Amino acid sequence: MKRIITIVGARPQFVKAATLSREFSVAGIDEKIIHTGQHFDANMSEVFFTEMEIPQPAYRLDINGVGHGAMTGRMLEGIEKILLGEKPEGVLVYGDTNSTLAGALAAAKLHIPVLHVEAGLRSFNMHMPEEINRILTDRISSVLFCPTDAALKNLAAEGFVNTAGNDPGSDRQKSGLNGAIPVRIVKNGDVMQDAALFYARKAAGKATVVKQLPVSRFVLATVHRQENTDDPSNLKGIVEGLNAIHRQVPLVLPLHPRTRNILQQSGLTPDFITIDPVGYFDMIGLLQQCEMVVTDSGGVQKEAFFFQKHCITLREQTEWVELTELGFNQLAGSDPVAIGEAFKKLMNQQSDFSVNLYGNGEAARKAAELIATL
């Protein structure tokens, strides 16, 4: 497989794409990137391509600002047209966004092998759009790159059976035989750790936001998931919980434009410090300097671990169960009391962050080397 199309559209996917794009050039793979436009704010999109030296997208669909159905449908239509013209040997998708599912659907319907990076993750919460996206994407993929043992177990429980065949599409016609779903499954590690290790070395000279904060000691927070931002009760509880933390240790939250608007419309007043969305290097700087992380983001949960920070997760479930099982991460949902209790516990906890959970920076290389042989 020497010619692939990569689909990206949201911040975590830009970070992941940066790691594999570098390895593709080494492996002799010709990659073209489609940017769906799902994240359209300059601070949340273009800055990543500039800062992280990601190859500029060959195609930009500029699809955003509409509901899930309209967004996914328009992406599917736009991606399909490009694939018909490009005729790639494979389509690579990342994670669990609408861009992920649209790219996978477009490719699968054209019988182009789908390569899913960050496969097998499950929160077991079907109210999350991301859960639906990741389940459906795994089901129609030809190669599943899994970051953890938990991801492998999830796939096995759902009937996926690993095939060592070199043709990732060769066994798809047998799907359903005896309930099995044949697919190429690879545990390669987490490309997000590759990015964290690579870019941490460059962040010192590029991260400026942390130097501009009015405080030197702070807790870092992010809130963006719809089950929190679109539920008035959840959002109220989270703001109360963050305000309570802020009264003990200053709390800084880079605020997504959509969430900022919802806070204003809801009449909720943050006592904590809010700043504009930040680029990846500034995010690394914040992660390096903060004392703890509070987030509803799956990616930020891991980034907290990469930079040896405890994390409070503002959800009832997490895909990264190893972090909760080993005590690096604590689930608190949107309950301000639970948030406060988790903060008190983790602020006084000592943990060994040296454990190898995500591949120690080899995930992208392993994925690229395999893709080159398909």
pLDDT at 136: 98
Are residues 112 and 32 part of one domain?
A: yes
Instruction: Identify whether residues 89 and 152 lie together within a single domain.
Output: yes
Domains of the chain: total: 2
Please indicate, yes or no, if residue 352 is contained in any of the structural domains.
no
Q: CA 126 to CA 132: how far, in whole Å?
A: 6
251 and 171, same structural domain?
no
Output phi, psi for 62, to 5 deg. 55, 45
Is 353 inside a domain boundary?
A: no
Verify that 181 and 261 share a domain, yes or no. Answer: no
Residue 206's nearest CA partner among 141, 294, 284, 154 is: 284
Looking at residue 171, its amino acid is D
Kindly state whether residue 45 falls inside one of the protein's structural domains: yes
> Is there a contact between 185 and 159 (Cβ–Cβ < 8 Å)?
no
Residue 83 domain flag: yes
The predicted structure's pLDDT at residue 175 = 52
Beta bridge partners of residue 32, listed in sequence order: 5
Domain membership flag for residue 136: yes
63 with 144, same domain?
Answer: yes
Same domain, 255 and 108: no
Record the pTM.
0.86
pLDDT at 10: 85
Residue 106, CB-side half-sphere exposure with 13 Å CA sphere: 32
* 200 and 186 in a common domain: no
159 in any annotated domain: yes
Q: Which of 172, 37, 161, 56 is nearest to 98 (CA)?
A: 37
Q: Is residue 365 part of a domain?
A: yes
Each residue's pLDDT, cut to its tens digit, for the chain (374 residues) gives 899 999 999 878 988 998 999 999 999 999 999 999 987 655 555 666 777 778 889 999 999 888 999 999 999 999 999 999 999 999 999 999 999 999 999 999 999 999 999 999 999 999 889 999 999 999 999 999 999 999 999 999 999 999 865 444 444 444 555 668 889 999 999 999 999 999 898 888 889 999 999 999 999 999 988 889 999 999 999 999 999 999 999 999 999 888 889 999 999 999 999 999 888 889 999 999 999 999 999 889 999 999 999 999 999 999 999 999 999 999 999 999 999 999 999 999 999 999 999 999 999 999 999 999 99
Whole-number Å distance between alpha carbons of 16 and 50: 15
Q: Which helix (H) or strand (E) holds 139?
A: helix 129-139
C-beta of residue 317 within 8 angstroms of C-beta of residue 247: no
Residues catalogued as catalytic: 224
The answer to whether position 103 is within a domain reads yes
Are 334 and 228 in the same domain?
Answer: yes
List the CATH number of the domain containing 147.
3.40.50.2000
| Structure token pair of residue 211 | 């130097």
The first and second tokens of residue 105, run together, are: 């659907």
Q: What local confidence, expressed as pLDDT, does residue 173 receive? A: 45
pLDDT of residue 320: 95
**Together in a domain, 207 and 146:** no
Q: Could you tell me the residue range of the domain that residue 7 belongs to?
A: 3-190+359-373
